[in-house]
Amino acid sequence: MSGPLASLKVLDFSTLLPGPFATLMLADMGAEVLRVESPTRPDMVRLLPPSEDGVSAVHGYINRSKRSIAVDLKKPEGKEIIRRLVAEYDIIVEQFRPGVMDRLGVGYEDLKAINPGLIYCSITGYGQDGPYRDRAGHDLNYLSIAGMTAYNGRKASGPAPMAFQVADIAGGSCHAVMGVLAAVIHRQSTGEGQHVDISMTDAAFSLHGLAAPPALVGGQDPDLETTQLNGGGFYDCYRTRDGRFMSVAGLEPQFFTQFCQAIGKPELTSKGMTLDPTVVAEVKAEIAEVIGGQDYDHWCRVFADLDCCVEPVLSFSEATEHPQLKARDMVVEVPRHDGGKQRQVASPFKFSATPVGYRFSGARLGQHSDEVLADHGFSDEDIQAFKDSGAVG
């Protein structure tokens, strides 16, 4: 593999979305990622439809380029395998509740004793301490606790779930990758590893980039449809006559002026920056009336050559065919294990010297158990003994 992270070796104990999406990014950038999976409790992502080659398409994407070894961590032999691997795979990503890995005998302190340079990243809903450390949760819960859900939605209907997993991915996955890479840089200069504690709630809370300062300094709590970016201004989506939508986002005066001229409403130009609810309602009603008076294709033609931050709202399938995303090669074909190929979303990272790469789609459970164990010095007899004991699947 090429990629800027080709020197890194990662043991991935995570399931579902946050951890696997983090290690997907690492693998795309060249890291060697080995998934350590339970032989008796498969990752639920493996069961999500649809499937190709008997493998879930979601699993095939989120776990591409990662080998899989099936190890029962409750077996003494399973623990011994991990202790052997951690001497070489010196980055760990895990997503269990706090204390689970410790009880299994493969927590940070246990493995740090074997490899002091170990970087051990734990992704949890609420973090390794605090009164909620052992509490169950999902993306919507973390965003709600973090104060984000409160101003996402409409006044008429109330708070609404986000369309994608903000806490899981922007919070857990992306912050895990940043934390791991920061720890790698620290280790390069000191030789010292460390435990990286990623709370998806903390990470979501940190994403209040524009809303936090007014709230913390001025006591201005953001609410539904009260900011320029959540429907409190003209920045919004407007329905066309045929039921499609256009996104209007030209916040800067030069963009809004051009937009108003394009829709034949230059008189709205002076009202674009106000947050006065009465004026905002009037402006949005006029924009909605004009946009609703013509079909989607008409507005696509009108704004195609105008640089005023107006774009059509595309479905995912339409987005894959957009000329910009096609020019950026954002859909790729990744080899499947049956010799075919699966269409997947590409990595967004573009490196001039160390391009990203895609080895294969997500592996079957334990597909690489034998070769990984053999690579690390276990004999054929050892491997068979592990299988007979149930430690390896």
Question: Is residue 154 domain-shared with residue 275, that is, in the same domain?
Answer: no
Question: Is residue 197 domain-shared with residue 103, that is, in the same domain?
Answer: yes
**Residue 129 appears among annotated catalytic residues:** no
* Residue 235, in any domain of the structure: no
Distance (Å, whole) CA 279 – CA 97: 49
The pLDDT value recorded for residue 52 is 86
- Calculate the alpha carbon distances from 350 to 60, 99, 330, 337, 355 in Å: 22, 38, 11, 26, 6
Of the residues 53, 110, 138, 368, which is catalytic?
138
Question: Is residue 52 domain-shared with residue 185, that is, in the same domain?
Answer: yes
Taking only the tens of pLDDT, the chain with its 393 residues reads 689 999 999 999 999 999 999 999 999 999 999 999 999 998 999 999 999 878 899 999 999 999 999 999 999 999 999 999 999 999 999 999 999 999 999 999 999 999 999 999 999 999 999 999 999 999 999 999 999 999 999 999 999 999 999 999 999 999 999 999 999 999 999 999 999 999 999 999 999 999 999 999 999 999 999 999 999 999 999 999 999 999 999 999 999 999 999 999 999 999 988 889 999 999 999 999 999 999 999 999 999 999 999 999 999 999 999 999 999 999 999 999 999 999 999 999 999 999 999 999 999 999 999 999 999 999 999 999 999 999 999
The encoded tokens of residue 336 equal: 């499947």
Q: Is the dihedral of CA 171, 163, 156, 252 positive or negative?
A: positive
* Residue 28, in any domain of the structure: yes
Of the residues 90, 168, 202, 236, which is catalytic?
168
Burial class (CB within 10 angstroms; exposed 0-12, middle 13-18, buried 19+) of 243: exposed
pTM reported for the whole predicted model:
0.95
The encoded tokens of residue 121 equal: 């990243």
Question: Is residue 335 domain-shared with residue 385, that is, in the same domain?
Answer: yes
Question: Is residue 202 domain-shared with residue 266, that is, in the same domain?
Answer: no
The encoded tokens of residue 164 equal: 């994608």
* Residue 240, in any domain of the structure: no
Question: Is residue 54 domain-shared with residue 168, that is, in the same domain?
Answer: yes
> What is the maximum span of the chain, computed from C-alpha positions, in angstroms?
83
* Residue 343, in any domain of the structure: yes
Q: Which domain holds residue 166?
A: 9-206+328-389
CATH number of the domain encompassing residue 86: 3.40.50.10540
pLDDT tens, position by position, 141-168: 999 999 999 999 999 999 999 999 999 9
Q: Give backbone dihedrals phi and psi of 35, rounded to 5 degrees, phi first.
A: -80, 130
Question: Is residue 199 domain-shared with residue 337, that is, in the same domain?
Answer: yes
Question: Is residue 307 domain-shared with residue 383, that is, in the same domain?
Answer: no
Q: Is the dihedral of CA 204, 210, 214, 219 positive or negative?
A: negative
**Residue 322 appears among annotated catalytic residues:** no
Distance (Å, whole) CA 340 – CA 52: 9
The verdict on whether omega for the bond into residue 50 sits within 30 degrees of 0, i.e. cis, is yes
* Residue 298, in any domain of the structure: yes
* Residue 317, in any domain of the structure: no
Rg (alpha carbons) of the chain, rounded to whole number: 25
Q: Considering 312, 345, 371, which residue would you say is the last residue of a domain?
A: 312
- Calculate the alpha carbon distances from 271 to 31, 109, 250, 340, 348 in Å: 51, 60, 13, 56, 37
The encoded tokens of residue 36 equal: 């350590």
pLDDT tens, position by position, 98-121: 999 999 999 999 999 999 999 999
* Residue 322, in any domain of the structure: no
User: Cβ contacts of residue 44 below 8 Å, gap of 6+?
Assistant: 15, 16
Number of domains in the chain: 2
Q: Is the dihedral of CA 330, 342, 369, 68 positive or negative?
A: positive
Q: Considering 286, 312, 338, which residue would you say is the last residue of a domain?
A: 312
Question: Is residue 14 domain-shared with residue 88, that is, in the same domain?
Answer: yes
Question: Is residue 128 domain-shared with residue 261, that is, in the same domain?
Answer: no
Distance (Å, whole) CA 196 – CA 81: 23
Residue pair 35/113 in contact by the 8 Å Cβ criterion: no
Residue pair 328/272 in contact by the 8 Å Cβ criterion: no
Question: Is residue 125 domain-shared with residue 101, that is, in the same domain?
Answer: yes
Question: Is residue 80 domain-shared with residue 54, that is, in the same domain?
Answer: yes
* Residue 370, in any domain of the structure: yes
Three-state SS for 119?
strand
Q: Considering 288, 312, 336, which residue would you say is the last residue of a domain?
A: 312
Distance (Å, whole) CA 18 – CA 174: 9
